[in-house]
Structure 1
Amino acid sequence: MLRYLRIPQADPNPILLAGSPWPITLILVAYLLFVLKLGKIFMRNRKPYDLKTVLKVYNLFQVMYNGLYFGMVFYYLFIVGICNLHCIESFPEGHERKQLERVLHAAYLLNKVLDLMDTVFFVLRKSYKQITFLHIYHHVFMSFGSYALTRYYGTGGHFNAVGLLNSLVHTVMYFYYFLSSEYPGIRANIWWKKYITLTQLCQFFMLLSYAIYVRFFSPNCGVPRGLLYLNMLQGAVFIYLFGKFYIHNYLRPANAQINAKQS
């Protein structure tokens, strides 16, 4: 374990939160302690906090943050065309776009840490049923995984595909959260929720497919094979977990309603 900590930084100029494993580790330990234990103890004799205004601001901020990030990555990948989309590799040191790559990567990593506030708000509102294994696993993996990728692979590169799709999905998702806080009728409409989950599933299918394409159909690509295999594995894991969630929350209730009407 310790030998991995002694491996030199992939990027000699580490970005925010990536210069040492301690910041992200301490953040995630504090997060897990709060959402799994301490938060519930803190809220035991308290009423749920009214966070409507806080959540509106938070959700709107997330929409703008993710939307801006998506727009910038899309612009540089597809409009300017700074990368070969068949094999998106990290820029070498000294490349004219290297600092831009670092800034965008840091923005994404910081946003994954900010996403942890979703669960904190659940605790403060006593919405414990929303704190599922899928929810916590997703947040912890995306935060620590983003750090680890930065630490051992560097900034940008194949990671841009993940950031591009993930930020688009989060823009849509947080826009839904914002609208549902403004218009309670939207929250009660299962149509929205179902397609938010389907959008997430599409994201994982696309990322899994892209990793397979780069690995097996771009033989000269310099993206580490281990990274691609990890990308495939996590894509499959998330497809399974989100697919299970979709079936349990949307397909089974719908089938039960149909059967009830027919009986």
Structure 2
Amino acid sequence: MDEIGNITLTVSGDPVQFPLMGSPWPPMMVLGTYLVFVLKAGRMIMENRKPFDLRGVIKVYNIVQIVYNSVALMAALYFLFVLKAYDLNCIQRLPLDHEHKNWERLLAYSYYFNKYMDLTETLIFVMRKKYRQVSFLHVFHHTIMCVFGYVYITFSGYGGFLFPVCLLNVAVHIIMYTYYYLSSVSAKVQASLWWKKYLTIVQLVQFFLAILYLINTLRQPNCDASRTVIYMSMLLGVAFIMLFGNFYVKAYVLPGRRKSQAKVQ
């Protein structure tokens, strides 16, 4: 912390500061405005209004997310397997004078910034009066990802051992937004529970794989990775498994059981 009164933080000794980094106030203001709008103000504004027709906006938003995450995925794979900047047996943050440090910074920051792009989805829900989709799971997931991203980069630096976890999440985002786009142009896809069910399964598998990776990192005593951050990441992963698992059971397991019981009766 270099300015205690203004709460200005450096990124783990890295002199490079991107927007929404350094001072915690900008991300706090963005997230505070987001929460006030989606939980209270937005609903008040829309109370006596008809839902906005945002079908065109939704299509463009989904395409932007698909392209953004696809480019990020390809760049990350190039960084890992062509530039070979990391030792995959023990991934550690690159030193400041490393030739590929700018790659690491840009990839890590692009992932972090995308968490703020994701907030747009909830704003669209509110403006379309789709309040049922503004669930605790949805709002918590989007908010905590921004918070955790800021905390991780600030105290652990850009990149490092969570790189594979973020890479996995980017791949899942491509699948997810591809589904969202297809459902926005096809009523058949939108009505299909098959897509929605397996999309949730993919998200759950992602969290399990992330936890297994973190456990494997813990088992390497000579790998210099912050144990505190690993435990925090694992705790967040468990929380997501519980929340997404609860959603899966309520959305896809219990309705099937009720239908089966109704047929028997």
Fold-level match, TM-score > 0.5? yes
* Alpha-carbon spacing, 1:26–1:7, altered in 2? closer, same or farther (3 Å): closer
Q: Which region of structure 1 is more displaced relative to structure 2, 231-240 or 154-163?
A: 154-163
Q: Which residue does the alignment assign to 1:157?
A: 160
Pick from 63, 67, 70 the counterpart of residue 70 of structure 2.
Answer: 67
Q: Which residue does the alignment assign to 1:233?
A: 235
Asked if structure 2 preserves the Cα contact closer than 8 Å seen for 1:15 and 1:102, the reply is no
Q: Which residue does the alignment assign to 1:83?
A: 86
User: What is the rounded CA distance, in whole Å, between the counterparts of 2:97 and 2:29 in structure 1?
Assistant: 32
Identical counterparts, % of pairs: 43
Q: Is 2:117 the counterpart of 1:114?
A: yes
User: What is the rounded CA distance, in whole Å, between the counterparts of 2:15 and 2:90 in structure 1?
Assistant: 23
User: What is the rounded CA distance, in whole Å, between the counterparts of 2:249 and 2:22 in structure 1?
Assistant: 41
Q: Which residue does the alignment assign to 2:37?
A: 34
Q: Which residue does the alignment assign to 1:224?
A: 226
Counterpart secondary structure, 1:92: coil
Q: Is 2:27 the counterpart of 1:24?
A: yes
Q: Is 2:188 the counterpart of 1:202?
A: no
What displacement does 1:151 show? Answer: 0.9
* Structure 1 stretches of 4+ moved >6 Å: none
User: What is the rounded CA distance, in whole Å, between the counterparts of 2:264 and 2:8 in structure 1?
Assistant: 64
Q: Which region of structure 1 is more displaced relative to structure 2, 79-88 or 190-199?
A: 79-88
Q: Which residue does the alignment assign to 2:261?
A: 259
User: What is the rounded CA distance, in whole Å, between the counterparts of 1:157 and 1:177 in structure 2?
Assistant: 31
User: What is the rounded CA distance, in whole Å, between the counterparts of 2:11 and 2:177 in structure 1?
Assistant: 33
What displacement does 1:76 show? Answer: 2.0
Calculate the aligned-residue CA RMSD, in Å: 1.8
What displacement does 1:185 show? Answer: 1.0
Q: Which residue does the alignment assign to 2:135?
A: 132
What displacement does 1:105 show? Answer: 1.3
User: What is the rounded CA distance, in whole Å, between the counterparts of 2:75 and 2:10 in structure 1?
Assistant: 30
Asked if structure 2 preserves the Cα contact closer than 8 Å seen for 1:16 and 1:106, the reply is no
Asked if structure 1 preserves the Cα contact closer than 8 Å seen for 2:8 and 2:23, the reply is no
Q: How many residues align?
A: 262
Structure having greater relative contact order (Cα 8 Å, sep ≥ 6):
1
User: What is the rounded CA distance, in whole Å, between the counterparts of 1:121 and 1:88 in structure 2?
Assistant: 38
Structure 1 residues not aligned, in runs of 5+: none
User: What is the rounded CA distance, in whole Å, between the counterparts of 1:161 and 1:179 in structure 2?
Assistant: 27
User: What is the rounded CA distance, in whole Å, between the counterparts of 1:6 and 1:133 in structure 2?
Assistant: 31
Asked if structure 2 preserves the Cα contact closer than 8 Å seen for 1:18 and 1:151, the reply is yes
- Aligned-partner residue type, residue 71 of structure 2: L
What displacement does 1:70 show? Answer: 1.3
